Structure 1
Amino acid sequence: MKQIRLNFWTQLLVVYTRMMLGGGFVFASIIKIKGKRFTTVSHEDAPFGTAMHFFETMYQTGIYWQFLGWGQLIAGFLLMTQRYAKLGAVINFPIILNVFIITISMDFNYTPGITGMMLLANIGLLLWHWDELKILVNLPPTSTAKNQLVNEPIWEITGLILFSFTAIYRLLYDRYDPVFWFLVCLAIGLAALPIRQFSTKIPRQKII
């Protein structure tokens, strides 16, 4: 397990999983916080028990709809900060579990596949932090190495940039292009890797 935690590619996978999972929740949260529907069309006449009827009912609650949005926003933000990703994974777990159960309870076409992968990703993050999280079940925590790739500042900066872009884009535009959003986020996320590689090769000056 220790070798896995210190592996470069495993740590990189954890970093980008936090960003993708957090970004997806931030993207979905803003529209709820704004008090608007997922779609521009009302589904008040949707058949009872359908997915659209379910979402319309939640939307009509008002405060609960916005409460869900704030929960997703906070969990997503914590994940994207990297620094507080452990707390974000804990908070996000019951949210994504609830979303997954909803999608398999109704006809959401292929959505359960997406939410199922998000749930597995969250479980993976919890397992990654298990050495520290096991204190929650009265087991002694195990200290982990601090000088790991996942703890480097470049990922915190990248996460905050991604969060800011996603939040501003969703705040400004009710009609959105998910492909455009994804491609911009992908470019920002991938740009961080060569920047990180370049910065680590720059020799540090000795302090006299």
Structure 2
Amino acid sequence: MKLLVQLQQFQEEARYNIWFRIFTVFCRVALAASFIPSGIVKIMGERFTALPPNNPLGHYFDALHLTGYYYTFIGIAQLCIALLLLIPRTAFVGALAYFPVIINICVLTYATRFEGTRIVTLMVLADLYLLFWDYKRLKAIVWSAGLPKAPLSKKFPFAFAGFVIAAIAAVVLSNQFLYEIRPGNSMAECKNQSAGGKNPKGCAIFCDCIYQKGLPLDSCLKEYAKTKASGKADKSH
């Protein structure tokens, strides 16, 4: 407890020190700058690294590159976090959002024995410093006292229960009809989609493309679309 009080006092004093403030701005700009180039590359759909595919980390990034709009989503998220870090009023939110991302990257680099592990580790430490800089806000989130206790009600929330059931049904049904074809979790599961389907030949070609040839999802979807288009052409003749 005494150590915690001392840390709080140190943090209060540091916030009114010009050199600590300069270092804080430097950390925010440096962390934002680390996400901007990588975010732009992902949004543009380009390969993130020059590492060869036979490198463990290069192999991982190649697989990530083939995830389609998920890859783009990561890039957008990185740019948003960078923007939050650069705006003083939202810098704490940016540091908070940055933390799980950089921890994941750090563990990944250690697991693959990447040469840039030292830099990533320093990025983790810099983000921890930024979180400590806004210790009071972090404390309000992690160690909040909570709301005043109210008498426990036994009234069943029918409206809320109905909303939950409707939300579950909407998610299940929308996902059922969201995609015309999916890879499934196995060759058998993939080919089961052809039963009662409009394009059984295309389904078989798609599944072979995924599980036998090992091609990317986008390439296999294009093959499926070709069979679908040729089937329509045959019917028109």
Q: Which category of TM-score, normalised to the shorter sequence, fits these structures? A: 0.5 to 0.7
One-letter amino acid matched to 1:84: T
- Cα RMSD over matched residues? 1.7
**CA distance in structure 1 between the aligned counterparts of 2:49 and 2:144, rounded to whole angstroms:** 46
Per-residue CA distance 1:92-125 (angstroms, 9 max, x = gap): 100111110110010312x110000000000000
Match of 1:55 among 46, 52, 61: 61
Identity %: 33
Unaligned runs of 5+ in 2: 1-9, 146-237
Match of 1:22 among 12, 25, 32: 32
**CA distance in structure 2 between the aligned counterparts of 1:52 and 1:138, rounded to whole angstroms:** 40
Q: Could you say which residue in structure 2 is the equivalent of 1:122?
A: 127
Is 2:8 aligned against 1:8?
no
Is 2:112 aligned against 1:113?
no
> Aligned runs of 1:175-186 on 2, under 5 Å?
none
Per-residue CA distance 1:47-89 (angstroms, 9 max, x = gap): 3x71111100000111221111111111111001222101000
One-letter amino acid matched to 2:112: M
Match of 2:47 among 37, 40, 64: 37
Q: TM-score, normalised by structure 1?
A: 0.61
Q: Could you say which residue in structure 1 is the equivalent of 2:230?
A: none
One-letter amino acid matched to 1:91: A
**CA distance in structure 1 between the aligned counterparts of 2:23 and 2:64, rounded to whole angstroms:** 34
The structure, 1 or 2, with the larger RCO (C-alpha pairs under 8 Å, 6+ apart) is 1
Match of 1:67 among 68, 73, 79: 73
Q: TM-score, normalised by structure 2?
A: 0.54
**CA distance in structure 2 between the aligned counterparts of 1:107 and 1:8, rounded to whole angstroms:** 38
Provide the secondary structure at the position in 2 that maps to 1:35.
Answer: coil
Give how far 1:39 is off. Answer: 4.5
Per-residue CA distance 1:6-35 (angstroms, 9 max, x = gap): 011001110111011111111211000111
Would you identify which runs of 4 or more consecutive aligned residues in structure 1 move more than 3 Å? none
Q: Could you say which residue in structure 1 is the equivalent of 2:138?
A: 133
One-letter amino acid matched to 1:104: Y
Contact 1:51 1:106 in 2 (8 A): yes
**CA distance in structure 1 between the aligned counterparts of 2:90 and 2:139, rounded to whole angstroms:** 17
